[in-house]
Structure 1
Amino acid sequence: MTDFYFHHDPNKLPDYSDECHPVQIFDSHPLNKYKCSHASKELLTKIRKLGVAVNPDALDLVTIATAVTSAETFEPRENAPNSWSRILNLHIPVLAPDKWKAVATRLESLLGFLTGDQWKLTFSKSDLTLPKPINSKQSKLTTESLKGLNAVCLFSGGLDSAVGAIDILNGQSDVRPMLVSHAYRADGAKQQDIKKLLKKPYGELSYSIAPQLSSQANHANDTSMRGRSFNFLAMAVLGIAALRGANNDNTISRIIVPENGYISINPPLTRRRIGSHSTRTTHPNFLSQLEGLLNDVGFNIHFVNPYQFKTKGEMLAECVDQDAVKQAIPLSVSCSHWHREHIQCGYCLPCLIRRASVFHAGFEKDAAYAVPRLKSILKEYEKRDDVHAVQTAILRLKKSPDYMAWLRQSGPLPQNKETRVKLESTVKRGLAEVEAFLKSVGLA
């Protein structure tokens, strides 16, 4: 168990030890590289350059997201008693601690659902001064670019987010979005290349929490990143706050989360994958519970996944601009190993679903893969696991086609029967796409 302490002033942080991990957040004080780790070093400057005053609650939310992402990054799962579920105690200074104390238990539970860890959040009063907008020509141009925008759309550089942006900005949609991106290392260039395919004006907000481990730590960062969507959604809420300020309109509330319905549910392919292998980054239960929690704090936001009932292949085949999506496919990233090798592996579950979707939609050109021929990994234990798991799931569900019971293994489903039936159909079609692709390469 590790206690993480966060503060913008490194002089108010405890010393580093095996049980105590101090983290400096933001750039309001000189960075102490030896005393502590750090994260979101440039965030306050990014906020100031928006040129508009930002709601302090939104700053609190991104502070919490910074703390969560940092702890998740700095605590290796291998240190947990079961080598997976960590116990993480976070001490976080916020501007309105009473608001966050009131929802702390709910947020801890949500983060547990998302990451598989045990979270304890303790909030204290922050003495951070709200970042004042920069009054410069550049910030004025940024503010002007936000006027007239009426929604936020997540834009990761992945294939689903590319389809989402193309559908909105190359089609007849009345949505005028700010594209919110998290610029992981090597992702920025991919995102910019895809943006060149978009035909209508849009706003932009991109920053990186970029957690940097203290030189005193004797281990590497953890790369499982189960909580990344909480960070991403907190950024989106910050984007909504900026749009409200630029447009003087507090009714702006829509946050678009483009994700295919199969991976949104992401039912575990085998029993041993329940929890550890099945991510829940955009699971409808997580999104609906987080929306309710944030609205109880006072945000008045609404998460929308327009592709909840579409497979990835259907998203590609039905995209409004087939020429643009054809160009976006080789530019986009879907792989769960991308941030380790900076080439898509071709055999992890996200890569399998991606390759199946491209096959389903009839596109010939895809991104490069480290393993283009799947048959070549069948004798490699560390690489074949996802292929075998998909094959096992296909065979199991043919023998006992209880898809609804399978869906429930990934988490609570909406109460509405019609919605549950649609989710079941989507996941069934999504698995069928993967089966068709595996057959085409002689693996099913």
Structure 2
Amino acid sequence: MTKFYFNDNPNQLPEYSESCHPVQLFHTHEYDEKKHSLASRGLLQTVRDLGVAVEPKAIDLITIASAVTAADTFELREKAENAWSRQMHLHIPVSDPNIWDAEGAQLSSILNFLTGDQWMFTFEQTSMEIPKPKISKLAKYKAKTLLGKNAVCLFSGGLDSAVGAIDILNGESDYKPLLVSHAYRGDGAKQEQIKTLLSSPFAELSYSISPHITKFCEGKTDISMRGRSFNFLAMAVLGISALRSANSDASIKTIIVPENGYISINPPLTRRRIGSHSTRTTHPNFLQRLEELLTRIGFDVKFVNPYQFKTKGEMLAECVDQNAIKKAVPLSVSCSHWHREHIQCGHCVPCLIRRASVHHAGFDDDAPYKTKRLKTLVKEKGTRDDLQAVQTAILRLKQTNSYKSWLRKSGPIPLDKSVRNALEAMIKRGLMEVEVFIEANKTS
């Protein structure tokens, strides 16, 4: 088990060893990469630039989320006994350790489900001051943009988040959102291009945790990043806190999570993909349990996925502004390998579902792919695994028609029978979209 120690003050961190990894959170002090790692370098400045006060427990939440994402990045899965499920014990300073101690076991369980790892937490009293709003032209401008906004919407630069933003801001929605974005390297430019297609005013909160690993580890980091959505949602909760402060309205609580239902459920295509090999970043069980934990902590928030029962193709075909979404398609990113080479691979499961959805909607323009021709892909041993897994799932389910049991393998699903039936029907339609796309491209 690796023990991770976090603090904004590097003088409070232990020395690095094989089983002890010190990480400086935030850039409140000078950073020395020869001694420890660093995460969320400029995050507190981003919070201060909002120009409004946020609750201490919201700072605690993003501190915890930053720590989780840092550990998720710095601990290599190949070091685990089974080369996948890691054991990590995080020591995190917060403003109220008692509140978080009471939820430590539940937080561990939720993150175990999300990432497939074993998480442990020890919460300690922080000595860091809660960041105060800046008094500057930028901060005043940011604070002004928050006025009148009544919800937070996640905006990743992906195709689903583009549909979500367009449906809200180019349609007749009652939501007036704060768009929360994570500025991964290369994503910011694409997010800005998609934002030009939005026709109604919105507020923005773009953040980065910028994990930087100590020289002791030779720059090696893990790329699976199964815990990234916890960080995203934590920033959305902070956004809710900022909106409440700016508008003096404690009733603001909606966090919109735009994700097609198929990827949200993400049933494992083969037996070896059961568990965290199929991501659970917006799985209903994860969102429900996290929402319940946050309620007990004192955050009254509501996660809403308007597309839980829609396939990705249906999201595109039914988007309220077809001209805008057609322009957004080639600007958006869906690939799980995008950050490696900054071109979408064309052969991972998210790419196959994306390409099938564009085909379903009848759109002509799509983003460029490293591997475009499926006929060529079948011959490539190093990259054909996901396509073959999809084809295997299609064949197996045609023979057995056991969609209910397949649905349950992704994790607990809602008990309501009508909800389960709607999810099952959506999963069938989603897989059918991919099958139609594959059939249409067998010879090309």
TM-score (ref. length: structure 2): 0.99
RMSD of the alignment, in Å? Answer: 1.0
Give the aligned residue type for 2:408: R
Unpaired runs of 5+ residues, structure 1, are: none
Tell me the residue number matched to 2:353. 353
Give the aligned residue type for 1:12: Q
Task: After the TM superposition, list the runs of 4 or more consecutive aligned residues in structure 1 that deviate by more than 6 angstroms.
Answer: none
Give the aligned residue type for 2:73: T
Tell me the residue number matched to 2:6. 6
Tell me the residue number matched to 2:163. 163
* Residues 1:222 and 2:222 aligned together: yes
The aligned runs of 1:196-215 (5 Å cut-off) are: 196-215=196-215
Say whether the 8 Å CA contact 2:114–2:276 is kept in structure 1: no
Report Cα offsets for 1:313-372 as digits up to 9, x if no partner: 000000000000000000000000001110000000000000000000000100000011
Tell me the residue number matched to 1:284. 284
Cα offset for 1:442?
A: 1.2
Cα offset for 1:97?
A: 0.6
Report Cα offsets for 1:261-302 as digits up to 9, x if no partner: 000000000001101420000000000000000010000000
Cα offset for 1:375?
A: 1.4
SS of aligned partner of 1:106: helix
Cα offset for 1:33?
A: 2.3
Give the aligned residue type for 1:274: I
Say whether the 8 Å CA contact 2:374–2:442 is kept in structure 1: no
Say whether the 8 Å CA contact 2:113–2:276 is kept in structure 1: no
The aligned runs of 1:314-393 (5 Å cut-off) are: 314-393=314-393
Alignment partners' CA distance in 2, 1:218 and 1:20: 16
Cα offset for 1:77?
A: 0.4
Say whether the 8 Å CA contact 2:51–2:142 is kept in structure 1: yes
SS of aligned partner of 2:382: helix
Report Cα offsets for 1:6-40 as digits up to 9, x if no partner: 00000110001111100000121111222110000
Cα offset for 1:219?
A: 5.2
Give the aligned residue type for 1:364: D
Alignment partners' CA distance in 2, 1:218 and 1:142: 39
Give the aligned residue type for 2:233: L
Give the aligned residue type for 1:70: A
SS of aligned partner of 1:216: helix
SS of aligned partner of 2:339: helix
SS of aligned partner of 1:382: coil
TM-score (ref. length: structure 1): 0.99
Report Cα offsets for 1:96-145 as digits up to 9, x if no partner: 11110011100000000000000001101101101111111221111010
* Residues 1:300 and 2:300 aligned together: yes
Tell me the residue number matched to 1:137. 137
Tell me the residue number matched to 1:107. 107
* Residues 1:415 and 2:415 aligned together: yes
Unpaired runs of 5+ residues, structure 2, are: none
Cα offset for 1:250?
A: 0.9
Tell me the residue number matched to 1:93. 93
Tell me the residue number matched to 2:43. 43
Alignment partners' CA distance in 1, 2:276 and 2:245: 40
Alignment partners' CA distance in 2, 1:266 and 1:7: 36
Report Cα offsets for 1:163-197 as digits up to 9, x if no partner: 00000000011110000000001000010000000
SS of aligned partner of 2:384: helix
Deviates more, 1:273-282 or 1:52-61: 273-282
Give the aligned residue type for 1:98: N
SS of aligned partner of 1:421: helix
Cα offset for 1:443?
A: 7.5
Say whether the 8 Å CA contact 2:226–2:276 is kept in structure 1: no
SS of aligned partner of 1:423: helix
Give the aligned residue type for 1:291: E
Tell me the residue number matched to 2:441. 441
